[in-house]
């Protein structure tokens, strides 16, 4: 698909845009829109007060939710919820100048005269009624003419007539779907640019060959204006310039699995995030209570996108990086490629299964005690058999009672007494609360934290034994060494998180000892924290604010801090950069999505996970038999055409079937190729100097590991505009300008090879220098 016909590029040649666009005319148009925006803000202030009253009265209006039937922000509760959201967002400066304003769009619709027939606004059932209401109030009509304003939320006046329609309502759909070929009754689509409550510009697209005399058309089109802007540290929403083909994916059915594919910069991420906001709007009851989870590759990615949903008025979505997917574990550390491959493959489940079912290190290998006056002795072989039997039917952490009962049976059997039921009953009765048995159970069958099992595997011999037939000795050694690294550094790796989750599912949640809580302490009980080896206390948001997570000083304590409960489940799971999930990570996300619908976003040509077939199988298993719908994006909105052509040439040579999009924007500035030379830092400094002059926003130095340490001091220079990053960490991100250091080395060092280089070469919006 090329640029959507709804974009500014397709302005009909006969449109009087340029002749009309003299400053006075623009100023007049701005004044017209300002008057409406003022009205909306005045109404919001009133609504905010009403909402505060509602809140004070303890009426949780969100409970009313927005169901399909009330899809147009119908009713007072919904409007007041929106007003509350708006005020909350404004308090946190979410709707600052980075974003298009609260009211960002206007449609001038002709319902009758245009083609002498009924309006072609294709409203849905809910949209029809909203459209009709909108005509009554937002319409300043000449005959069949209607003016409809579109905004981040629906706003109504005292009579509950709409002043602004929520962008997600069906009645707003022509704003995104109308094209000169299918105008849907729209004469003119206008995008309002605002700073806070002040309108500072308007950009029009005409949908008919000739503008009616009373319709002024100004501006050069909103899309190009948005794309040429400088990139900030955070992703912006695109609510004012969503293109028709993107809108289709955003508003697609909430059911089943929605796959969004496309090359770099095609808006997959931003579309998926708007889809999350749309789902919350269209089926609020289901998705707000069931929850939406957004999973991205890294902490840098979640930080980059974190403001998009709040800017759309949605705060209830959970964002998680793959290194944060399991509660209580937070990490960004990556394993070396070969270790990551072994840990990401489902083959590692053999090792995990054997370890989870195996003996707890240091557990007693023999039971001896006097019970009910009889000497009982159970040797290791019998203990092992009992353990295997119990674990065939139970999760270890939930099977203490079953294990103790099975041990009792075995103990009785070991005495060789037959037919004496009474004696057996007496024996088992004593067994149940015998102190020696209790002490033995505590050592033989302790509660096992899944993370402890991984730490057992720092023992190379144990890994070899448990993974015989799956991994050779060398890989077993590498795995053991990686867990030893965790023990030394006090940090897990990102791939470990999926292993911890797998083990947690096998072992079951750790049960509290009856008399004390594990891992948590009341702050007020700890007068002198340092005596407990504690350096930091972090409040845990959530159920009990008085509790604190205690961050231990020693590496082992840090690895085991906090507790891992049952994973939260969600009603919808959105996975970005899906091409990079390992099979084990698909299983991990799948555990949070057992009853969920999915939106899955990716581009195989950017993959860094090498065994695509195995990942595809795990992904299919996670999706189950749910129906699929697919959307393909093929317009690159990020990179200037010169930059993208360069990147596409590189990837095509080795990945002939790469999904290459079409870049829409030319800058006239080719990619600069310069020698790396012997002084890498000097070469990078020189390029940076030029780029910082040329662009207003962020500049990234993307470097292979080899030069990372020497280049690190450049990070944060020029008032924080410069970032120094490794190629993998740039996934999903973008910058105004980029210096790519030593592309050959990037290809060599990454398991994804040229695909990872392709990622690095497609991060720059406006300028790029390649040092080779």
Kindly list the residues in this chain that would bind ligand ATP in the complex (CB under 6 A): 223, 226-227, 236, 238, 241-243, 246, 262, 264-270, 603, 606, 637-638, 732, 734, 762
555 near 531, Cβ under 8 Å? no
Q: Minimal distance in Å, beta carbon 308 to ligand ATP?
A: 9
DSSP letters for 481-498? HHHHHHHHHT---HHHHH
Shorter beta-carbon distance to ligand ATP: residue 386 or 725: 725
Query: Distance (Å, rounded) from C-alpha 162 to C-alpha 156?
Result: 4
762 near 644, Cβ under 8 Å? yes
Instruction: Please name every residue paired with 665 in a beta bridge, in sequence order, or none if there are none.
Output: 640
CA dihedral defined by 531, 532, 533, 539, rounded to 10 degrees? -120
Backbone angles phi, psi at 653, to 5 degrees: -60, -35
Shorter beta-carbon distance to ligand ATP: residue 264 or 752: 264
511 near 396, Cβ under 8 Å? no
Shorter beta-carbon distance to ligand ATP: residue 236 or 685: 236
Query: Residue 590 is encoded by which pair of tokens?
Result: 């799948």
The CA distances from residue 167 to 136, 261, 643, 688, in Å, are 19, 24, 33, 40
Backbone angles phi, psi at 453, to 5 degrees: -60, -40
Query: Distance (Å, rounded) from C-alpha 579 to C-alpha 612?
Result: 8
Q: Minimal distance in Å, beta carbon 249 to ligand ATP?
A: 11
Shorter beta-carbon distance to ligand ATP: residue 269 or 482: 269
SS (H, E, C) 269-337: HHHHHHHHHHHHHHCHHHHHHHCEEEEECCHHHHHHHCCHHHHCCCCCEEEEEHHHCCCCCCCCCCCCH
Shorter beta-carbon distance to ligand ATP: residue 262 or 704: 262
The annotation status of 566 as a binding-site residue, yes or no, is: no
Shorter beta-carbon distance to ligand ATP: residue 599 or 762: 762
Q: Minimal distance in Å, beta carbon 230 to ligand ATP?
A: 11
Query: Distance (Å, rounded) from C-alpha 283 to C-alpha 126?
Result: 13
Share in percent of the chain as helix, strand, coil (round to 5):
45, 15, 35
Shorter beta-carbon distance to ligand ATP: residue 241 or 311: 241
CA dihedral defined by 353, 622, 495, 388, rounded to 10 degrees? -10
Say which residue the tokens 């500035």 belong to: 669
Query: Distance (Å, rounded) from C-alpha 228 to C-alpha 680?
Result: 31
Instruction: Please name every residue paired with 375 in a beta bridge, in sequence order, or none if there are none.
Output: 370
The annotation status of 263 as a binding-site residue, yes or no, is: yes
Q: Minimal distance in Å, beta carbon 319 to ligand ATP?
A: 15
Q: Are strands 735-741 and 764-771 parallel, antiparallel or unpaired?
A: parallel
Q: Minimal distance in Å, beta carbon 251 to ligand ATP?
A: 14
Backbone angles phi, psi at 127, to 5 degrees: -65, -30
The annotation status of 268 as a binding-site residue, yes or no, is: yes
DSSP letters for 61-88? GGGG---GGGTTT-SHHHHHHHHHHHHH
| Nearest partner of 310 among 105, 152, 542, 79, judged by Cα | 152
Query: Residue 571 is encoded by which pair of tokens?
Result: 């009603």
Q: If you count DSSP H runs as helices and E runs as strands, how many of each does the chain have, helices first?
A: 30, 24
Query: Residue 362 is encoded by which pair of tokens?
Result: 């240091």
Query: Residue 527 is encoded by which pair of tokens?
Result: 């007068």
Q: Minimal distance in Å, beta carbon 101 to ligand ATP?
A: 15
The annotation status of 262 as a binding-site residue, yes or no, is: yes
Say which residue the tokens 């007060």 belong to: 49
Q: What kind and span of H or E run contains 556?
A: helix 555-559
Query: Residue 461 is encoded by which pair of tokens?
Result: 């011999």
Q: Minimal distance in Å, beta carbon 731 to ligand ATP?
A: 7
Query: Distance (Å, rounded) from C-alpha 73 to C-alpha 156?
Result: 9
The annotation status of 730 as a binding-site residue, yes or no, is: no
Q: Minimal distance in Å, beta carbon 271 to ligand ATP?
A: 6
The CA distances from residue 616 to 263, 613, 620, in Å, are 19, 5, 6
Shorter beta-carbon distance to ligand ATP: residue 262 or 583: 262
Q: Minimal distance in Å, beta carbon 636 to ligand ATP?
A: 8
Query: Distance (Å, rounded) from C-alpha 599 to C-alpha 254?
Result: 9
The annotation status of 343 as a binding-site residue, yes or no, is: no
Residue nearest to ligand ATP (CB): 267
Cβ–Cβ contacts within 10 Å for residue 570, how many? Answer: 23
Coil, strand, or helix at residue 402?
Answer: helix
First vs last C-alpha separation in the chain:
34
Cα maximum dimension of the chain: 107
594 near 566, Cβ under 8 Å? no
The annotation status of 697 as a binding-site residue, yes or no, is: no
Q: Minimal distance in Å, beta carbon 239 to ligand ATP?
A: 9
The annotation status of 185 as a binding-site residue, yes or no, is: no
Shorter beta-carbon distance to ligand ATP: residue 272 or 279: 272
Known binding residues for ATP: 262-269
Q: Which residues are annotated as a binding site?
A: 262-269
């Amino acid at each position: 698909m090329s640029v959507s016909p709804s974009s500014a590029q397709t302005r009909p040649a006969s449109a009087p845009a340029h002749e009309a666009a003299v400053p006075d005319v623009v100023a007049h148009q701005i004044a017209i829109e300002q008057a409406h925006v003022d009205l909306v803000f005045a109404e919001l202030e009133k609504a905010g007060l009403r909402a505060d009253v509602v809140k004070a009265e303890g009426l949780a209006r969100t409970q009313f939710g927005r169901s399909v039937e009330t899809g147009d922000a119908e009713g007072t509760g919904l409007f007041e919820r929106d007003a509350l959201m708006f005020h909350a967002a404004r308090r946190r400066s979410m709707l600052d100048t980075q974003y298009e304003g609260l009211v960002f769009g206007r449609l001038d619709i002709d319902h009758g005269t245009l083609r002498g027939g009924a309006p072609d606004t294709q409203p849905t059932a809910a949209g029809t009624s909203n459209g009709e209401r909108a005509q009554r109030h937002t319409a300043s009509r000449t005959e069949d003419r209607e003016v409809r304003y579109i905004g981040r939320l629906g706003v109504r006046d005292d009579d509950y007539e709409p002043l602004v329609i929520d962008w997600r309502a069906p009645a707003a759909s022509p704003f995104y779907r109308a094209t000169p070929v299918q105008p849907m009754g729209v004469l003119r689509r206008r995008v309002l640019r605002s700073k806070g409550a002040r309108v500072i510009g308007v950009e029009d697209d005409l949908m008919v060959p000739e503008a009616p005399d009373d319709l002024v058309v100004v501006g050069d089109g909103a899309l190009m204006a948005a794309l040429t802007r400088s990139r900030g540290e955070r992703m912006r929403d695109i609510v004012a310039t969503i293109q028709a083909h993107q809108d289709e994916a955003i508003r697609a059915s909430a059911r089943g699995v929605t796959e969004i594919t496309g090359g770099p910069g095609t808006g997959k991420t931003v579309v998926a995030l708007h889809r999350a906001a749309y789902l919350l709007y269209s089926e609020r009851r289901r998705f707000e209570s069931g929850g939406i989870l957004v999973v991205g590759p890294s902490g840098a990615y979640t930080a980059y996108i974190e403001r998009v949903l709040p800017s759309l008025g949605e705060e209830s979505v959970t964002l998680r990086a793959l290194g944060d997917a399991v509660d209580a574990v937070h990490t960004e550390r990556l394993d070396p490629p070969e270790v990551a491959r072994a840990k990401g493959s489902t083959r590692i489940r053999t090792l995990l299964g054997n370890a989870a079912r195996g003996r707890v290190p240091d557990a007693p290998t023999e039971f001896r005690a006097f019970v009910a006056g009889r000497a009982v002795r159970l040797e290791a072989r019998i203990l092992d058999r009992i353990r295997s039997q119990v674990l065939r039917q139970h999760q270890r952490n939930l099977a203490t009672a079953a294990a103790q009962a099975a041990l009792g049976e075995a103990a009785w059997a070991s005495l060789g007494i037959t037919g004496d039921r009474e004696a057996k009953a007496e024996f088992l009765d004593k067994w149940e609360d015998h102190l020696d048995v209790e002490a033995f159970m505590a050592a033989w069958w302790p509660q096992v934290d899944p993370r402890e099992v991984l730490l057992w595997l720092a023992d190379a011999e144990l890994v070899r034994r448990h993974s015989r037939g799956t991994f050779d000795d060398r890989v077993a050694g590498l795995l053991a060494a990686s867990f030893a690294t965790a023990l030394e550094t006090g940090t897990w790796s990102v791939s470990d998180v999926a292993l911890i989750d797998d083990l947690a599912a096998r072992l079951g949640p750790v049960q509290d000892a009856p008399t004390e809580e594990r891992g948590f302490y009341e702050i007020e009980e700890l007068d002198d924290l340092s005596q407990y080896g504690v350096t930091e206390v972090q409040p845990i948001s959530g159920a009990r604010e008085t509790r604190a997570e205690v961050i231990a000083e020693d590496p082992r304590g840090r690895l085991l801090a906090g507790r891992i409960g049952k994973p939260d489940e969600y009603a919808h799971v959105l996975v970005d950069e899906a091409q990079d999930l390992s099979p084990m990570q698909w299983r991990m996300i799948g555990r949070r999505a057992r009853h969920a619908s999915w939106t899955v976003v990716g581009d195989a040509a950017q993959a860094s996970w090498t065994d695509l077939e195995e990942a595809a199988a795990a992904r299919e298993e996670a999706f189950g038999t749910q129906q699929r719908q697919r959307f393909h994006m093929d317009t690159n909105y990020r990179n200037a055409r010169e930059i993208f052509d360069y990147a596409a040439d590189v990837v095509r040579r080795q990945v002939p079937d790469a999904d290459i999009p079409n870049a829409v924007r030319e800058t006239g500035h080719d990619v600069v190729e310069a020698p790396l030379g012997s002084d890498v830092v000097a070469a990078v400094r020189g390029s940076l100097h030029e780029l910082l002059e040329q662009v207003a926003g962020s500049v990234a130095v993307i470097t292979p590991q080899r030069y990372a340490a020497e280049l690190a001091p450049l990070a944060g220079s020029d008032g924080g505009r410069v970032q120094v990053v490794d190629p993998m960490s740039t996934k999903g991100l973008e910058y105004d300008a980029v210096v790519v250091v030593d592309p050959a080395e990037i290809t060599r060092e990454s398991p994804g090879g040229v695909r990872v280089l392709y990622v690095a070469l497609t991060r720059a919006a406006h300028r790029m220098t390649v040092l080779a």
